[in-house]
Every structure is written in structure tokens, then in C-alpha cells.
Amino acid sequence: MKTETTPQIFYNYDRKGLDDSTLLKLYRAMLKPRTIEEKMLILLRQGKISKWFSGIGQEAISIGVTSVLEKDEYILPMHRNLGVFTSREIPLHRLFSQWQGKANGFTKGRDRSFHFGTQEFHIIGMISHLGPQFGVADGIGLANKLKNNKKVCAVFSGEGGMSEGDIHEALNVASVWQLPVLFCVENNGYGLSTPTNEQYNCENIADRGVGYGMESHIIEGNNVLEVYTKLKSIVEDMRINPRPVLLEFKTFRMRGHEEASGTKYVPSELIEMWEERDPLVNFENYLLAEGILTEEKIKEFKDEFKQEIDENLEIAFAEPVIEFSETNELNDVYKEFNYQEVKENSEKENIRLIDAISQGLKQSMERHDNLVIMGQDVAEYGGVFKITEGFVEQFGKDRVRNTPICESAIVSTGMGLSINGFKAVVEMQFADFVSSGFNPIVNYLAKSHYRWNEKADVVIRMPCGAGVGAGPFHSQTNEAWFTHTPGLKVVYPAFPYDAKGLLATSIEDPNSVLFFEHKALYRSIRQDVPTDYFTLPLGKAALLKEGEDITIITYGAGVHWALETLEQNPEVKADLIDLRTLMPLDTETIYKSVKKTGKAIILQEDSMFGGIASDISALITENCFEQLDAPVKRVASLETPIPFAANLEKGYLSKGKFKKELFNLLSY
């Protein structure tokens, strides 16, 4: 019979045959992050750390999930999952250095708190946009399935993040492809200050599993034995029968979204109710009542952890503040890529641009057995432009994968494949549709190496451009969206030879590449191209014509417009530069030519403001000013969306303006 002094045990703990040592191990695993958090809150008040996202009251979830996974199975945690990091036995001084922005952390001071990953410990950290995390888990799960290694991975979200479109896309992909991923939702009551009844209108998040065709479970997230035993059974079965599982953990966030936010918006009675359900206190009382734990042991464990924390804090605090080095910062934007030239063979055939891309892609698939192609209709149908026609018969549906209409999830899946040892080529059906996958490209792929030294081995193919009467949603040439983003490479060939060689190199490169393919050139441009696999270096422009009068700088369809103009006006002696690669940009070739001719005109198909021509113009002005005999001229398309009707499209394009502006500059 309980008395007023009997410790409260809210949960009915069912040990399901677990031995005492396992129960003590789970207790210690929960106690350690709680002890660290209590110390962090003190340091925060003392002004010794700047920010803290507390997971107090949610430890049972992180510990339960991590404890049922093997050390080499990936986990993708979030802010409130300190127990994941401690359970994977990351040295505390490295965690403390990370939180203080010091060099011994995982991001060299470039990102904070838990925004990092580490291949050493098979942890892939979050980004603030939350949603791409689930797609990355899809990619890791797909890689595991392709390897047939009987591995699972686990990814976390809060109930607030579950409203993001990226997450819906990723759950759908995981279900369609039956990927071995644990989708762990910590339903802790509030997304910052917004309660769950303003976040979603179903009774439980797990109910959504029916709509996705996915197994789902509701788990008492503060009962560590329930978390551990249920997940152990689920995971063991997933390794045999790969599939996704949606898990909703009922829990509560006892402190603010981050400490500065506070909890004034939470009714006091709700906090009191969940304080009674504290996962650590309840489990501790249960172990005491069962005679598995003693007060002496509790003190021993706490003293051990406090000593470890203090010793590691001393190491981290003694570490010097990170020093700024422009060279180091710039050198870490991209993963180092040692270009290896594969020389062309002597046999050539006259093929179209579209054939060269298809051939280059196929030969890369033959060369890299870890290369996976993903996109809408790319399998049996061969893609809307038939570039991957016949690929399924040669490489199989595991490597040539039709996707649902979900650009964001598939880009993130490409990132997950890269993390887990694969290469990915993602086809945007049209470059215009990349806007639906913009977030993971510019925030995840582009920043991963700079943030935590992780490659993003993903090529995104971008069928683009006007001149085919496709209208506002199928005609954009949107390369400037990406040349502005450090960490991405942008390739834009104008000829079949370049397209084949540059595509091969783009796939070899461990960094993310946006590979633009102009639709109007697909079947209109032919060239003699080597039949075998070969590579061309990125960042090297091609000097197509030489002359003393003027420098013409262009790329894509603009190259052919300029060639046509020069052929019709043979009196003009121009250097014609085909950039081929927009990022990295071959400024050496540009400057050398402009310093020789004294005049420069830049032709782009994109509209003027914010386009790459503006940056090239500025670079020329800054670096070649004394050699210029006239202002640098930009020629671009109209400042409107791209119209459909032929006459309107013709009037929109910069092609019709180029000759006039060229001769105006020549006569300056």
C-alpha cells in the first residue's frame, strides 16, 4: 500500500523478460543527457553558452530508438535528441566544442548546436528547414535496400514539422518504394508556441499512416521500456521484411522551444500533469522499487557523469576561439575533386545533343555500378525526351527509378544516397519544376560540405530553355538561381561533344551539379562525338572563334545565335567564348580575351536583371577596366515571363536584339 512518501510510478512498466543489466543500461543512458542538460542550463544563465534547445522530459525516445539500432545504422536526429549523440558515445568535449562554435566540433564553427552530421558515428544532423530530413532518410534507406545489408535507419521530426510538404512527399516515396526507415515523430504538444490543435486536424499523427499505406504505431514516449521493447520487435522484423514504419511518440516539451522562448503560453496544469510523467524520474522510482537500483548507485552514476562533464567542459573551454581564414573558408565550400582526364577514342559518330547526353549517361551507368537515376517517367517510358529509353532493360528498375511527382523528396533522396555510398542523377522533367525542389538543393546539398565536410554526390539534370513554344512553365532558363548559391556547380553545354564529356565529369564530381540541357538544341544540333566514355574539365570555357574586334561571351542557345550572327556578318572579327560551365566560371579566358579586344558583349537567354551576365559584366569592369575601349554590354531577354505564342516568344528572346547591340558596341 502506497503512502504519501512512496515514490510515484506513473507508468506500468513491462520489462518483457529484459534482464537487470539492460534496465540499468537504459537508465544510465537517460541519466547522462539529463545531467548534461542541467549543466547547460546553468551555463546558459551564466552567459557561457548562447543558446540551448532542451529535450528534458523526452529522453526515453532518443534512448529507446538508439538502443535498438546497431552502431552503423544511421540516425537523423533533431534538437531535442541529445540522447542519440550520447548513446553513440561521441566524446563530450567535441559536443561542447560544437555548441561553442570551436574548431574541435563538427562544423568548424560554421553551424550551431545539433546542425551537424558525422559519418564516424552514423549521425546525420538536421537543418532548420526540417522537412528535407525525411527525404534524406529515404535515400539512406534506399541505399541500404540496394545493398541488401539488412540495415534500417531512423529519422526524427516533431509534430510541427509534420505539416511540411517535404515530409509528406518523403513518406509517400518511402511507402511506394518500401524503404526500411523508422519515421519517429515526437509529438510534444507544441511547435514553438502553436499547440497541436492548430497544427493538424486528425486525432493522431499516426492515423496518417493509413493514407500513406504505411504501418504506424502510437507509443507512450515517456515509458522507456515501452519504447525499447516495441521498437526492438519492429526493427528486428524490418531487417527481415524491409518497409517504412511511422511512429508517433506521445510526450511533452517541458521547457521552451529554446530557452529564450519560455513556456508562458502553456497552461500550468498541463506542465504539472507532464511533470508527473517525467520519463527519468518514473523509471528511476520503478528501478528503486524493484530493487534493481539503489540510492547509492544513483549518486555514483551522477557523480561519474558530473565528473565526465566537468572534465570535458574544461577541455572545450580551454580550446581557443576559432580563427577566421579566408582561404580555409573558401576551400571548404566544395569537396576537393581531383579531375582525372579520360581521353577520347578515335572513333566518332555524328549525333544530336540529346543522343550525346543519353550516351554519356548510359556509359556513366556502366562505369559506376553505384549510380542511380531517379525522375518522373524515366524508367519504361524513357523520360519525356526519351533520354533514358532502354535504360531499364540494361540496368534494371532498382537503378532507373520512376518517382512520384515530388521534386523536393527526390532531391533529398539523392542526398541520402550520397551519404550512404551511392551517386545520384535526378532528372527534373523540366527545369522550371526545380522550384518545387529548391529548398534541399540550396539549403542541404549546397551547404553540406561547408558545414560538416560531407559530399553531396548528386547531379540534377535540367531540360530548359525557350524557342519551342512551351510557355511560362516549361521554358525558363533559370541558371542564375543556382550560380548565386555557394556549394553548387552549374554546367550548361551548347554542343553534343561538350555535353557528353561534361556530363561524365559532373557525375564523377562528388559535389552537386546542376546540368542544364537546352530543349531547343536537343534535336537541332549535331556534331561528331567520340563513341566511348571520355571526360572534359569543369570550369574551362571554349574559344570558338578568334578576332581582334570584340569579345562575345555566351552559353547555351546563345552560342548558336552568336555563331549565326557572325556567319552572316563575316566582316566582324570576334573572340567567341562559350562558357560551358557557369560555376566555376573561367574568368581567365574572359579577361585574356577582353584585354586583347577592348570590348565585351555578353549574351544570355535569361532576362536581364539578376542574371549571370550582370556578374560577368561587373567582373570585367573591375578587372579589365584600363583595357576597355567601350562600356561592357549585356544583351538579355525581355523582363517578362516567357510567352507561348510564337510571335510573342520571338519578341521575348534576346536573339533578335543581339545583332543591333553588337554593331552598336563595335561602332562605339
Q: Collapse the DSSP code of 610 into the 3-class scheme (helix H, G, I; strand E, B; otherwise coil) and give the result.
A: coil
Comparing CA positions, the residue from 465, 432, 462 lying closest to residue 654 is: 465
Q: What is the CA radius of gyration of the chain?
A: 29
Do 278 and 57 touch, CB atoms closer than 8 A?
yes
**Quick one: pLDDT at residue 271?**
81
Q: Give the list of residues 6+ apart from residue 334 with CB closer than 8 angstroms, or none.
A: 449, 487, 489, 511
Our answer to whether residue 518 is catalytic in this structure is no
| Segment (H or E) for 550 | strand 550-554
φ/ψ of residue 340, rounded to 5? -115, 115
Residue 109 corresponds to which amino acid? Answer: G
Q: Collapse the DSSP code of 179 into the 3-class scheme (helix H, G, I; strand E, B; otherwise coil) and give the result.
A: coil
Bridge partners of 184?
A: 156, 247
Count CB atoms within 10 A of the CB of residue 44.
17
Going by their DSSP bridges, the two strands 194-195 and 190-191 should be labelled as: antiparallel
The alpha helices in 569-609, defined as continuous H runs, are 587-597
**Quick one: pLDDT at residue 268?**
85
Q: Collapse the DSSP code of 413 into the 3-class scheme (helix H, G, I; strand E, B; otherwise coil) and give the result.
A: helix
Q: Collapse the DSSP code of 155 into the 3-class scheme (helix H, G, I; strand E, B; otherwise coil) and give the result.
A: strand
Share of the chain residues as helix, strand and coil, in percent rounded to the nearest 5 = 45, 15, 40
**Quick one: pLDDT at residue 6?**
62
Q: Find the length of the chain.
A: 668
Of 474, 484, 518, 560, catalytic: 474
User: How far is Cα 506 from Cα 520, in angstroms, rounded to an integer?
Assistant: 22
Count CB atoms within 10 A of the CB of residue 381.
13
Do 505 and 536 touch, CB atoms closer than 8 A?
yes
Q: What is the mean pLDDT of each run of 10 residues along the chain (668 residues)?
A: 63 94 98 95 86 87 98 94 95 94 92 89 90 95 98 94 92 98 92 83 93 97 97 98 97 80 82 89 96 97 97 96 94 96 96 98 98 97 96 97 96 98 96 93 96 96 94 92 97 98 98 98 97 98 98 98 98 98 98 98 96 97 97 96 94 95 97
Check residue 163 and report its DSSP letter.
Answer: G
